[in-house]
Structure 1
Amino acid sequence: MQVAYDYEYQLAVADYWQGRPTMEPNVWVPSLPLQMTVAVPASNTDLVVSSGGQQELKLAVMEESTEYQHERSNPMEDFEKAARAFEDDLQKMQTKMHLFPPSMKGEELSKYSEPKVVSIGPYHHGKGEAIPQMESTKYAAACHFINESGRSVEEVYGAVFAVADEARRCYDADKLRLLSDNDFKPMMFYDGCFLLQYMLFMCRDNNDEDHPIADLPWVVVDKLMKLMPKPGLDMETFVGRVKQCLQTRRHLKFDPPILDESYKPPHLLGLLRFYIVGSTDSSTTDDGSGQGLSDNAKKVSLSVSVIELAEMGIRLTADKTTAEINKMRVTRGWFTGKLFLPPVSLDDANARFLVNMAAFELCITPDFGEVDDTMSTVCAYLCLLGMVTDNDTDVQELRKKHILQGGGLTNEDALELFTGLEKHLRPGNCYYNTIVAIENYRSDRRLWIKLYRFGYRNQTAIIAVLTTIAGIAGFLGTLKSFQ
């Protein structure tokens, strides 16, 4: 039967096909419709002809012995089999293409869980109003990639074909149950070429385009990158450009990150999150007090409001030295403290980016307490933003402090995003370390905080009294001069 596929916009690769030798029968040609023969499935029925000449279906039933019918499997074997399957899934957790976690399916987050401009991979294929219009762009991107690679259509598609089975195993089998290989493999080919062209585009100058949520296994991207001519894709520049997109105020000198060759990303989103989060050499405090709870602490509050922080003398401050998200920390001065939060440009694209990085952390890490702190960094960052925003005024204060930069989301949208995420995320060690640092500050400066809180709560009256005293002193000074 004929397999339906959208060929309205055919790749401009027909020229490649003219005069090419015949390919292997299992290799698909992107510009041509695909024919598929469906084999009749085997069954336990036999076709027989009766004495009257009529065809009948005769059911062949295997006789079962009484002993077989009463045979029962060992329950422990079933349990052990299920346990092994569960452990196998956990081992593959890091490389799977995860669905958006059910815990983040709130109404306020639904618009951030699906692509807005272009879909990559089968989970969101064809969804959204603007998505189908971008399919023609994928065909053009494939044409450009083939031209720039200097390879033939057969070679490029053959490379994708070689890793397609491995790529398919990265997706949820139930979600792809109705998607045949004859549809899946062309999808990997077009999406892979489009993604590589996007990455090349981001390396040119300083392009602030929306970054797609890359739902494509890295094995496909890596295979296509190896087909590119030298020097190939400058991954340091690409990662640095995307990292810059999270900031409105940037250093004039472009300083791309140094890539860790030992890190093997599951997909593009995982790669970018790895370098946006930053290294593990940070501490939640300058004096190390955030590493453990102070002996003076009697209890720990798992959340601290923006009012409590202000009454303790802890001021929210944008970290101007780095944009790495894991640099959240509490510092102490002589009289006050600071809670440093990395700044972020909160437009719609970056909001989607942050939400999906947090979702990725939830999917790959069942227990944040048993892994490195950086595995929960984005969740912690978003939880802290939710902790210090109770109303529109708090969001505006974050803008004044330059923690939230640029335009994009309104104060109402940002408040809905942060408070919605706070309800759905697991905080993790990065968050708890910051909370412990705040509690240590509170416990070690208990007497001073009481004095500071009194002054903070009564600052209007105190200013009025001081103004009155200054006025009286000035009047007495003037009266004395007359005398």
Structure 2
Amino acid sequence: MELPAATWVPCNFQMDNWTMEPPVWAPAFPVEYQYAATEIFGNCLQISGPSSSGGHLLVESAQATHNELIEPTEAHDQFEVNLINMEAQIHDNTICEFEETTQEFQVDMDTMKMKIHRYPASLRGFDEYSSVPRMVAMGPYHHGQVLQDQLKKVEKVKYVAAYHCVIESGHSLQEVYDAVVSAAHVARHLYDNDVMAGIGDDDFLPMMFYDACFLVQYMLWCTPSASEMEGSLRSFFDLNRKVLRHDLMLLENQLPWLVVEAVMRFRHVELVDFIADWRYYLQDRKILGEKPIVLDDSYEPPHLLGLLRFYMVGRSNTNVHTRDKFDSISVSVSAIELAEIGIKLTVKETRELIHMGISRKGILSAELSLAPLSLDDERASFLINMAALELCTTSNFQEAGDEDSAVCSYLLLLSMLVHREEDVQELRTKHLLQGGAGLINKEALGFFTSLQSLPLRGLCYGRVMVEIERYKMERRMRIMVHTFLYRNKGTILAAISVIGVLVSILGTLMSLKSKSKI
């Protein structure tokens, strides 16, 4: 008996005769596909999907006999072939997507040290002061804000800076712009892909040109060449020096160095003079007659923040990392604990942040020395952004060099020493905190305690903690003596004072007695 034309296949046909391979998962492919065959035949629905030829699968009922429903038909066999081909195609597409994603990830990892990173999530606890520019936006991350706030008026200053940059270079506008464009096409890939997806070259290329010219003119202002700069632009830099120092050192407000270099090929900047102006930005006390900076030609900076961080951190003198084995080790220690066991805080003669460590002095004591710091809002923000750069560019702090995590180590050591305002005052007494201006003790305490959210990373920090632990183990008896003397110094001093008084009285009595005999 034949069924009427265009009648759907009955739902109760023998599904047991069908076997299927496990469904293949693919990104962006509907999960429902895993059960497509069941849906087609179990629910008597019509579905379409990709076939090996790029067309569609179409399951239609046709005129069939009862016997044809029981025995496998040519249409059924063809469906199995198409299904197998479709699964193979999905598998191939999935592999291609995986390979493409893997390649993109590899490129990101290979260029990690050169990219313009977003502010890391681990430091989001700090307020926007440390991450958002207040006056000048550099690059695309905060460029959109120029339409809403005071950043807009600085865009006009960028045009002025670009004009003077080109005129003073002695080259044509086209030459300078073409050089920037050439570098900007490469620099585009150093920014966050999601941000750049919404910015075309018509916006991005002029942005790179104006921002790079502005930055180069600012760098010139920081050198003795400032005297040759046009008066109105120099006055702008003079009047806004503090906010510019803040904005131009933000992690998200950086320009790829290759774009800046493209402009500096026409408008030369003496980097030695520029770095020297910034090198001791973290300290108020200046060293006269210091040796000039020697540029490291092997270092390729990612941007201005990276350049300054490199020379402010310095190079490590330690070639071999400690491999001591301990049953346990402290990950932090307070200033009071250090004082009890005989470790004094001292100022390191060098100003480079990387030089920190324990040195043994005398029978019962040692010294923990660090570079000094003059702390205000701008410098605090600068430190945080240097630490953020380290967190973004160092994938494994244990395998990286000391230089890769020096700022994080420096800040962690300071934060572990401070728990109350008296501890901040102790840092001032030891001259680790210098200068009368800047953050008061309460504000400094808030800054240091907020640093305790930093990940416990950094070889310099780890080495100092190992040195402290070794000191504890090797000088147990001496530490016990020192701890007793430290904790009871008030009583001991009082006793010595009493003894001194008694000796004085006894001496007086003896003197009087000897006189009476005469």
Q: TM-score, normalised by structure 1?
A: 0.80
- Counterpart for residue 11 of structure 1: none
- Kindly state the Cα deviation for residue 349 of structure 1 after the two structures are TM-superposed: 1.8
- Counterpart for residue 162 of structure 1: 182
Q: Does 1:203 align with 2:239?
A: no
CA 1:386/1:458 → structure 2, altered by over 3 Å: closer, same or farther? Answer: same
Q: What is the CA–CA distance in structure 2 between the aligned matches of 1:123 and 1:426, rounded to whole Å?
A: 29
Letter in 2 for 1:291: T
Identity of matched residues, %? 42
- Counterpart for residue 97 of structure 1: 116
Comparing 84-93 with 189-198, greater Cα deviation is found at 84-93
- Kindly state the Cα deviation for residue 189 of structure 1 after the two structures are TM-superposed: 0.9
- SS of the aligned residue for 1:330 comes to strand
Is contact 2:122-2:453 (8 Å) kept?
no
Is contact 2:409-2:457 (8 Å) kept?
yes
- Kindly state the Cα deviation for residue 127 of structure 1 after the two structures are TM-superposed: 4.0
Q: Does 1:131 align with 2:147?
A: no
- Kindly state the Cα deviation for residue 368 of structure 1 after the two structures are TM-superposed: 0.5
Q: Does 1:329 align with 2:321?
A: no
Q: Does 1:475 align with 2:511?
A: no
Q: Give the one of 311, 318, 322 matched to 1:291.
A: 322
Give runs of aligned pairs for residues 3-18 of structure 1, distance below 5 A.
none
CA 1:123/1:325 → structure 2, altered by over 3 Å: closer, same or farther? Answer: same
- Kindly state the Cα deviation for residue 78 of structure 1 after the two structures are TM-superposed: 5.2
- Counterpart for residue 486 of structure 2: 456
Letter in 1 for 2:212: G
Q: What is the CA–CA distance in structure 2 between the aligned matches of 1:110 and 1:394, rounded to whole Å?
A: 27
Q: Give the one of 178, 184, 191 matched to 2:198.
A: 178
Q: Does 1:150 align with 2:186?
A: no
Letter in 2 for 1:131: L
Q: What is the CA–CA distance in structure 1 between the aligned matches of 2:191 and 2:327, rounded to whole Å?
A: 48
Q: Does 1:117 align with 2:153?
A: no
- SS of the aligned residue for 1:317 comes to strand
Q: Give the one of 245, 259, 281 matched to 2:295.
A: 259
Q: What is the CA–CA distance in structure 1 between the aligned matches of 2:296 and 2:408, rounded to whole Å?
A: 23
Q: What is the CA–CA distance in structure 2 between the aligned matches of 1:115 and 1:298, rounded to whole Å?
A: 47
Q: What is the CA–CA distance in structure 1 between the aligned matches of 2:485 and 2:353, rounded to whole Å?
A: 33
- Counterpart for residue 55 of structure 1: none
Q: Which runs of 5+ in 1 are unaligned?
A: 1-60
- Counterpart for residue 457 of structure 2: 427
- Kindly state the Cα deviation for residue 254 of structure 1 after the two structures are TM-superposed: 4.6
- Counterpart for residue 446 of structure 2: 416
- Kindly state the Cα deviation for residue 169 of structure 1 after the two structures are TM-superposed: 0.6
Q: Give the one of 214, 221, 224 matched to 1:194.
A: 214
- Counterpart for residue 336 of structure 2: 307
- SS of the aligned residue for 1:175 comes to helix
Output one character per residue of 1:292-328: Cα deviation in whole Å (capped at 9) or x when no partner. 43x7x55311111111101011111111x21111100
- Counterpart for residue 473 of structure 2: 443
- SS of the aligned residue for 1:179 comes to coil
Aligned-CA RMSD value: 2.3
- Between the two proteins, the alignment pairs up a number of residues equal to 411
- Kindly state the Cα deviation for residue 186 of structure 1 after the two structures are TM-superposed: 1.3
Q: Does 1:64 align with 2:64?
A: no
- Counterpart for residue 256 of structure 2: 217
Q: Give the one of 345, 350, 362 matched to 1:316.
A: 345
Is contact 1:362-1:426 (8 Å) kept?
no
The structure whose residues are more often helix, as a share, is 2
Q: What is the CA–CA distance in structure 2 between the aligned matches of 1:109 and 1:329, rounded to whole Å?
A: 31
Output one character per residue of 1:143-194: Cα deviation in whole Å (capped at 9) or x when no partner. 2211210122222222212222111111001022222221111111111011
Output one character per residue of 1:242-294: Cα deviation in whole Å (capped at 9) or x when no partner. 112222111112533101111111111111111111112247xxxx9x8343x
- SS of the aligned residue for 2:143 comes to coil
Is contact 2:316-2:355 (8 Å) kept?
no
Q: What is the CA–CA distance in structure 2 between the aligned matches of 1:117 and 1:465, rounded to whole Å?
A: 62
